[in-house]
Every structure is written in structure tokens, then in C-alpha cells.
Amino acid sequence: MTCLSPQSGSQRDWKFAVPLIFSLMGWGCSTAMLPAVDLAQPGWAVQRMEAVWTPRLGAPELTGEVTIANHATNGRLVLFSKQGLPMVSARTVTNRWTLASPLKRGAYGGRGLPPRQVPWFLLTDIKGIQTASKPWLLETTATGWQISNPITGEKLEVVP
């Protein structure tokens, strides 16, 4: 490729090569976020419950509400909010997933199975979670259930 060779020395060649390289890098790494959903639309089964989330060992507990919404074709949305402000949003649709949080200042997404180290992707409905695999521990409490990661100290206690 002559436009990238150091011998070419032409500024004009680099003007075309640099945008091409960056567009290819962005194309290979970009993850399109899933479109917004309207839970008032037909087909959504929405459940809300109180929850206490400890993001990591030594972090303060955050008390809020977990909303779990399931749809036959539009997937699942799990939202943890505190006083109406969304703190974590996790969504799966077929083989795609997204995770967003103002606490992490960004959004993440991908194809395939969502990361198992994120507890929000384990929630299925008000009754509990998907099969918890290590390092997650699922326990029944006096008021509901709790999932915890003894390695990171992350914990989510749900009161249906």
C-alpha cells in the first residue's frame, strides 16, 4: 500500500489513509446500543421491587428499586434506580446486550452472552435469578433473596 509507506512523503496520501484507518478501527470495535424501549407498550411484563445494592466491598449500600421487564421479542430490561434516577440499566435482546450506568460514565455492549460477573444480567423475574454460577452465591433472606460475590464484595438484596 503506497499511501502508508514512509517513502511516499506525500501529505495528500496521508489525508486519505488516516481517516480510512480510524474508520476501520471504529467499525471493528463499535457496539451499537440497543434502541430505547417503551415499557407501556403491549407485551412487556414489568415487575418492580425494593433492593439494596452494594457495588463493591467497603462501598456504601444504595437503596433503590429494581425494575425487571420481559418481552417475548424485545428481550429483557433490568433497571436499578434510586429516587427515580437510573443508576444501572442492563438489557439483553437475543444475542446482544448493553450495560449503562452514570456511575461508570459510559455504556458497554456486545454480542453473545452477557458477562456473568454483572449481577444485573442474572435477574430474570421477581422470584429470583438465572442459575448463579461461581463466584455468585444465591441466598434466601428473611424478606426476599440476595445474590453476592464474595470476591468483589458486590451484593444485591431484593425484597419482592
Q: What is the CATH number of the domain that holds 77?
A: 2.50.20.10
Helices (H), the chain: 11-29
Q: Are residues 96 and 21 in the same domain?
A: no
What range does the domain containing 149 cover?
A: 45-159
Asked if 13 and 87 sit in the same domain, the reply is: no
Distance separating alpha carbons of residues 79 and 37, to the nearest angstrom: 12
Cβ–Cβ under 8 Å, residues 76 and 91: yes
Residue 53 domain flag: yes
Query: What was the pLDDT predicted at 66?
Result: 95
| Same domain (yes/no): 15, 86 | no
What is the pLDDT at residue 129?
A: 66
pTM, two decimal places? 0.75
Looking at the 3D structure of the chain, how many domains does it have? 2
Residues in the chain with pLDDT values less than 70: 1-33, 126-131
Report residue 59 as a C-alpha cell. 462501598
Q: Within a domain: residue 125?
A: yes
- Whether residues 81 and 4 fall in one domain: no
In this structure, are 84 and 143 located in the same domain? yes
Within-domain flag for 35: no
Q: Are residue 86 and residue 22 in the same domain, yes or no? A: no
Q: Same domain for 11 and 66?
A: no
Same domain for 95 and 132, yes or no, is yes
Evaluated on CA atoms 41, 50, 53, 135, the torsion sign reads negative
Q: Are residues 11 and 76 in the same domain?
A: no
Residue 142 grid coordinates? 428473611
Helix (H, G, I), strand (E, B) or coil at 120: helix
Q: What is the pLDDT of residue 29?
A: 40
CA distance 47 to 44: 10
